[in-house]
Amino acid sequence: MLTFLALAASAGFASLLTPCVLPVVPLTAGYFAGRRQLSGAAPVIEASLFALGIIATFTGLGLGLSIVLGASGVTMLAANPWLNLFVAAVFIAFALSLLGLYTIRVPSGFLTRADQAAREAPRILAPVLTGFVFTLATFACTAPFVGPLLVAASAGEWSRPVAGMLVYSSAFALPFFILGLTPQWLQRLPSPGRWMTDAKYAVAALQLGAALKFLSNAGAVWGIHVLTREVVLTVWVLLAVALAATVLLRSYGAGGTGLRPARVAATAVSLALGAWLASGLTGRPMGELEAVLPARAETADDLPWIVNDLETAVSRATAEQRPLFVDFTGYTCGNCRWMESNVFTRANVREALSPYILVRLYTDGEGEVFEKNQRLQEARFGTVALPLYAVLDENGATRSSFVGVARNVGSFVDFLRAGSE
């Protein structure tokens, strides 16, 4: 959960660097400049209410998702292949928009009416509605961060989308709360210019890369393994190199000002990222990135798993008088991929797993067997969170369970050893 919330906060701060935010900052400056005459606690209240408008908009999205879908529905959100295709299409549409093929924006009439409502609202509501309008105006660049965050929230508990949006929006709103207290600082922000186009290209590359993740999710559920780990890494490398080349070409193109330090740094970062991604093509573990990469053609741990057949596993465990280790996992579960690459490959973990009959149950595929696995997990363990690891005795009775990623590998090894005693 802490890792997920850290991701949410990082996405919130990263959204501030996108090219849709700066152009609407003057709206914020004008709003707070008109309230410079406020004194005492009033500026703090105004800035707080403005931030609340931003936070309420995003958090309301997460809450609405939880209410409509429920716990298991949020979990299955990441696994629905049609929804994954839709999300991928949205990312591609946003990317092409940022590349200049067309423009995506919230309808101006809706924004105008919302802005007018904010201006005419009672004093205590005006800042909240202004924050809401600000959120809508920056939608084109925040949606690519909000979308994956909501999908990442699909680890099981209904509260995750709400908590994720709350942290995301708080991080996004924090600078504007500070600037609301000191509106004169707004005038010191960098003005829109050529650098914003470079930023648009960077965000477009990020969105195209993210689209591959959702396309591979759909393929994994359907058993179509075209977008393999190697293919996705290769495309990401090409996107990083293309971004570096674009920055260089624009430095000397029409209106270019040459290679200034910022452009040199941006080029170097893009090329370094491409080189690091290329190292994963040799099979090298990619650390945290494993959570978003497609599964390897062969599981990274290379352990003797019985897949989607608990009855056979129990029969074998009974015959051999050995305990069972059950891995409730998913084709689209990023944390599951992280565990497979970073934990199950460790020598001490493999040694602790050696006494067990190993069974892996997928809960997010299409078909009765996957629905049966999910029903079993929810009925026996009271959660649909993935990954979930359970130790059963030789007759199939539950001994213990472990939910989520094991950042502390030692505690996971202790769990395995205790279960096999």
CATH of the domain at 379: 3.40.30.10
> Given 130, 161, 192, which residue is the final one in a domain?
192
Q: What is the mean pLDDT of residues 161-168?
A: 77
Q: Which residue has the higher pLDDT, 384 or 372?
A: 372
Is 205 within a domain? no
Contacts of 209 (CB under 8 A, 6+ apart): 235, 236, 239
Over residues 45-61, the pLDDT tens digits come to 777 777 777 777 777 76
Is 102 within a domain? yes
**Short-list 151, 135, 139, CA closest to 4:** 151
Q: Could you give the dihedral angle defined by the CA atoms of residues 373, 375, 381 and 385, in that order, rounded to the nearest 10 degrees?
A: 70
> Is residue 237 pLDDT above 80, yes or no?
yes
Q: What is the mean pLDDT of residues 68-95?
A: 68
**Short-list 244, 212, 204, CA closest to 228:** 212
The sheet carrying 306-307 orders its strands as 306-307, 357-362, 324-329, 388-392, 398-403
| Same-domain status, 188 and 318 | no
Strand pairing category for 324-329 and 388-392: antiparallel
Is 218 within a domain? no
Which structural domain, as residue segments, surrounds residue 140? 2-192
| Same-domain status, 184 and 315 | no
| Average pLDDT value for the chain | 75
Q: How many domains does the chain have?
A: 2
Q: Which residue has the higher pLDDT, 218 or 17?
A: 218
Amino acid at 59: T
Over residues 86-135, the pLDDT tens digits come to 778 877 887 787 777 766 555 556 456 655 655 554 555 555 666 666 66
> Given 192, 222, 243, which residue is the final one in a domain?
192
Is 310 within a domain? yes
| Same-domain status, 323 and 176 | no
Tokens of 344: 């199950």
Query: For the chain, how many residues are written?
Result: 421
Strand pairing category for 306-307 and 357-362: parallel
> Is residue 35 pLDDT above 60, yes or no?
no
Q: What is the mean pLDDT of residues 197-219?
A: 80
> Is residue 155 pLDDT above 50, yes or no?
no
> Given 157, 172, 192, which residue is the final one in a domain?
192
Ranges 128-137, 175-184, 344-353, 360-369: which has the least confidence: 128-137
Is 252 within a domain? no
Give the separation between CA 148 and CA 7, rounded to whole angstroms.
10
Over residues 289-335, the pLDDT tens digits come to 777 788 766 554 578 899 999 999 999 999 999 999 999 988 877 77
Amino acid at 123: R
Give the separation between CA 293 and CA 337, rounded to whole angstroms.
8
